[in-house]
Amino acid sequence: MSGAGDTLRLAAGVTLDHLALAHSHDGQYLLIYCGEELLAIYGAMGGNVATIEFADGGCYSVEEVLGLVAAV
């Protein structure tokens, strides 16, 4: 992801209920856990990712997702 305001689009079948979130100790990475899978997004906590979009049409800011999803 290259610029501010990027959207992270998640695959079909992934919902808020499937996710657990954390961030790295240095604050550089947003860590998204979905079952056995891990997606580490550099710079997401600094605003490089504006929204997370789900295949069902749900679209949330990183802050909203952090508030809605269980922390690891």
Asked if the model's pLDDT at residue 4 lies above 80, the reply is no
The angle at the Cα of 4, spanning 64 to 45, to the nearest 5 degrees, equals: 45
What does the pLDDT average to over 10-32? 88
Split into its structural domains, the chain has a count of 1
- Expressed as residue numbers, the domain containing 41 is 6-68
| Residue 32 forms part of a structural domain | yes
Q: Is 58 among the domain residues?
A: yes
Residue 6's identity, in one-letter code, is D
Q: What's the confidence (pLDDT) of residue 60?
A: 93
* 1 within domain boundaries: no
pLDDT digits (tens, 9 = 90+) for 7-18: 999 999 998 888
More confident residue, 40 or 45: 40
Q: What is the pLDDT of residue 50?
A: 87
The tens digit of pLDDT for each residue in 41-63 reads 888 877 788 899 999 999 999 88
Half-sphere exposure of 9 (CA within 13 A, CB side): 4
